[in-house]
Amino acid sequence: MSIQFRSYTNEAGFTDDFHAVREFLVRINAKNPIQYDFEWGRWEWAFSSSSSYHDTKHLHRIGIWEHSGEIVAVATYEQGLGTAYFCIDAHYTSLKAEMLQYAKGNLCEEDGKIRILINNADQEFQKIAAQQGFKPTQDIEGNAVYDIAVNSPEYVVLPGYSIHSLAEGYDLLQFHRVLWKGFDHEGEAPTTADALEDRRRNLSGPHLNLALCVVAEAANGDYVSYCGMWYDPGTEYALVEPVATVPQHRKRGLGKAVVLEAIKRCGDLGARQAYVGSSQQFYYQLGFHPLPASTFWEIR
């Protein structure tokens, strides 16, 4: 049977198509991640995010290629149209040119502008992009990995703070505030019903294990640091996303504590690596080491 193309459903939420793509991402990365800059946790995090982050009006623009009813490639956006990401089974790399052409016509902004993310180690895809008129930019997306099988996640918690997972019970308002302040938004976090519902959605992923999501709590009950973690027991890797620490509580080892505690919990369940989409020195200090980064390409 030949490879068939179809569009993703235009229905938002955790649909059959959502699960099919998620299972595809799990399958191609299960034992030896080849798509570490767009793992299943990144896909589920986007669908768990607020509508202000993840535009769901154009879901039908996501392209899916199938062989014998099994997904073998996906061309998608994340936040909104204008930036394209490509996930491909290693046995179907011949689809790259077709996928790129599809993205140019369907994942672009209204004015036709589009940028694409290509891993720096994928010279084949770089050549195809260049042939189709794309040029690399200075915009880089870093990647790093922590080898759980080699490193021993250890940390110290200062007096006045405690570390626990969201599975032990959590305060939605505190969770909202640590992410709001931790990502340097100005002022106090809005506490409207809509704002809290958007934040609740962050924890709605059907495969999110709250026992792996770790917070640092101050003596007054405030959440001051948070690490989200995505891990499927059928795989050997975990994904760190997101990490945030309230500014007034930085430089106290709390970010280190929540990340390493989350990694340790994944290791106890069988994970051998933890990935993060970052090249920040913070992660290198924890024991992560850099992987080939990815570069955004544009037509100029």
Residue ranges per structural domain of the chain: 4-141, 150-271
Instruction: Tell which CATH architecture fits domain 150-271.
Output: 3-Layer(aba) Sandwich (3.40)
User: Is there a cis peptide before residue 242, judged by omega within 30 degrees of 0?
Assistant: yes
Length of the chain, in residues:
300
Question: Residue 231, class by beta-carbon neighbours within 10 Å (0-12 exposed, 13-18 middle, 19+ buried)?
Answer: buried
Common-topology check for domains 4-141 and 150-271 = yes
Q: What pLDDT, on a 0 to 100 scale, did the predictor assign at position 259?
A: 98
Pairing of strands 83-88, 70-76: antiparallel
CATH of domain 4-141: 3.40.630.30
Q: What pLDDT, on a 0 to 100 scale, did the predictor assign at position 234?
A: 83
d(CA 224, CA 132): 47
d(CA 147, CA 99): 33
pTM: 0.95
- At 244, which amino acid appears? A
Alpha helices in 38-169 (DSSP H): 40-47, 96-106, 123-131
Radius of gyration of the chain (CA): 20
**Tokens for 267?**
């290791």
Q: What pLDDT, on a 0 to 100 scale, did the predictor assign at position 52?
A: 79
d(CA 5, CA 282): 42
Question: Residue 272, class by beta-carbon neighbours within 10 Å (0-12 exposed, 13-18 middle, 19+ buried)?
Answer: middle
d(CA 228, CA 153): 16
**What are residue 152's phi and psi, to 5 degrees?**
-115, 110
Instruction: Per residue of the chain (300 residues), give pLDDT as tens.
Output: 699 999 999 999 999 999 999 999 999 998 778 888 999 999 999 999 987 789 999 999 999 999 999 999 999 999 999 999 999 999 999 999 999 999 999 999 999 999 999 999 999 999 999 999 999 999 999 999 999 989 989 999 999 999 999 999 999 999 999 999 999 999 999 999 999 999 999 999 999 999 999 999 999 999 999 999 999 998 999 999 999 999 999 999 999 999 999 999 999 999 999 999 999 999 999 999 999 999 999 997
Q: What pLDDT, on a 0 to 100 scale, did the predictor assign at position 152?
A: 87
Question: Residue 92, class by beta-carbon neighbours within 10 Å (0-12 exposed, 13-18 middle, 19+ buried)?
Answer: middle
- At 8, which amino acid appears? Y
Burial annotation 127-165 (CB, 10 A radius, 16+ → b, else e):
ebbeeeebeeeeeebbbbbbebeebebebebeeebebeb
Q: Is 8 helix (H, G, I), strand (E, B) or coil?
A: coil
